[in-house]
Structure 1
Amino acid sequence: MNSAATILKYNVNGSSSWVPYYIPEQVENSGILGELVPQILSMAEIKVEKHNFPPKRTNQALEKGLLDFDFVSPSWFPKGDMGELFIQSEPILNIQENIITLEQNKSQWADITKIEGESIGTVRGYLYHDDDAFTRVDFGSEKQLIKALHKQRVQAAISGDLPALYWAKKLKMPIALASVHSRGVLVMRLRKEHSEMMPKINLAIAQLKTDGTIQALVDKYTQAEQYQQ
């Protein structure tokens, strides 16, 4: 395959609710990944084609080859296995998921095993490594999870720590970070037929780490919002 002529397809809407990683309504301040992805692919000299599948269709589109890559954490998959169709890049940045709840309920969810058999707020279309252990109650976004907690629709939910804190501040609806659900790293998940492109992608990631670009983007979207509580 001529990698120079290959155009990789990806979904700009797949993580559209994943603030502050993607902020789709912002053109210039489009989020950590919103700004970082074009830089990685430009440095790797890879052309891309943007699509707008609904979030719940992204995984199906990747498996069928309608899309070529997305950004995920191995920690979201049972035993970290993304399947035989994909390879993964070097880590781009660290991420963490927490059980989130209201402050007065925090102690009840201090042990991660407390989610077993319970109804837990989740984001529609997102992957969870242990979602056979609890009953998913799907909402459209992390923003909706925060509202659901305050409306008592669920007692606990699973969210990335930064998205949860971002929306809690934005909505003026305080939440607490209880037990850690998963710790991991964010990687590019790329279909194997494009594996010859991965060395260039990894070189670009390494350079953007070394020159401070990735950390600067994380700081831009989290430090000022981190959230003077």
Structure 2
Amino acid sequence: MMLRVALYALMLFSMVAAADSTPNPPTLKYCITGSSSWYPYYIPDSPQAPGLISELLPLLLDRAGVKGQNVPLPPNRTNQALEKGTLDFDIVSPSWFEHGDFGPLFVKSDPIMQITEHIITLPQNQERWADISSIKGKEIGTVMGYLYHDDNEFIRADFKSEQELIKALHRQRIGAAISGDYTALYWSSKLDLPIALAAKHSSGDLVFRLRKERAALLPAINSAIATLKADGTIDALINKYTHALEATP
């Protein structure tokens, strides 16, 4: 009897030890707040429609079996946090980086969705900025902390958000700025301040920029992206947030 009890106790101990040694999936820290004006990707104070990426990220992480924690930071601190490892990933486009290179600290996922940005200006000045070379050496409106693949070719005039870029154009503080298309069209409509899309500045795909020490999670993340593409989830969210903007002149 004593031997049976001892064997049973040993079995329980082995089971507990095995459970304790099973690694828990890490909680990946990220920041999706952007400039707080990054419509339609992030929309603050809107629980029913928090934004395209705000809705999609939890679905992707859940499908990948990964926990996530949004850590709100201003854009100028997000990149620093990623470099230091305080954050584990963000959602960016390689087209925002010189030569599309994230550097040695990061790996990238498969593409999630396309994103395009243009030079934006007042309608009467559209032709003046129709060629991307026109920005060389000029002061161009940008968002503080944002990445631009060619910002060594122009003079950055940093503002706190895309919303402020639209206002600055109409106050004639700047002649042109750089913005994602959907974001610019949204704020133009919201503020009732017309703008025009001039030369294309960049075009690419949004991806996970994941710190290399988390690279083992990349297959699961890529599988989640493929699944949510195949079942129509990503297309449905894109349509939800951009359908009205597609019709904006």
TM-score by length of 2: 0.88
Deviations 1:28-82 (A, max 9, x none): 2011101000000010110122212222100000000000000000011111100
Whole-Å Cα distance in 2 between the matches of residues 213 and 36 of structure 1?
Answer: 8
**Structure 1 segment 1-229 matched on structure 2, within 5 A:** 4-229=24-249
Cα drift, residue 3 of structure 1? 6.5
Whole-Å Cα distance in 2 between the matches of residues 210 and 157 of structure 1?
Answer: 36
Moved more, 29-38 or 12-21: 12-21
| Partner SS state of residue 225, structure 1 | helix
Unaligned runs of 5+ in 2: 1-21
Cα drift, residue 186 of structure 1? 0.5
| Partner SS state of residue 188, structure 1 | strand
Deviations 1:161-204 (A, max 9, x none): 11000111111111000000011110010000011101010011
**Which residue does the alignment assign to 2:17?**
none
Cα drift, residue 11 of structure 1? 1.7
CA contact (8 A) 1:142 1:164 kept: yes
Whole-Å Cα distance in 1 between the matches of residues 144 and 54 of structure 2?
Answer: 20
- Once superposed, which parts of structure 1, at least 4 consecutive aligned residues long, lie more than 6 Å away? none
| Partner SS state of residue 46, structure 2 | coil
CA contact (8 A) 1:3 1:196 kept: no
Q: Percent identical across equivalent pairs?
A: 58
Count of aligned positions: 228
Moved more, 4-13 or 97-106: 4-13
Letter in 2 for 1:100: I
Cα drift, residue 92 of structure 1? 0.3
Whole-Å Cα distance in 2 between the matches of residues 26 and 156 of structure 1?
Answer: 30
RMSD: 1.3
Letter in 1 for 2:177: A
Deviations 1:67-111 (A, max 9, x none): 000000001111110010000000000110100001100000000
Moved more, 18-27 or 101-110: 18-27
Cα drift, residue 227 of structure 1? 4.0
Cα drift, residue 15 of structure 1? 5.0
Cα drift, residue 228 of structure 1? 4.3
The structure that is helix-richer by fraction is: 2
CA contact (8 A) 1:3 1:197 kept: no
Unaligned runs of 5+ in 1: none
CA contact (8 A) 1:96 1:182 kept: yes
Higher Cα Rg, which structure: 2
| Partner SS state of residue 121, structure 1 | strand
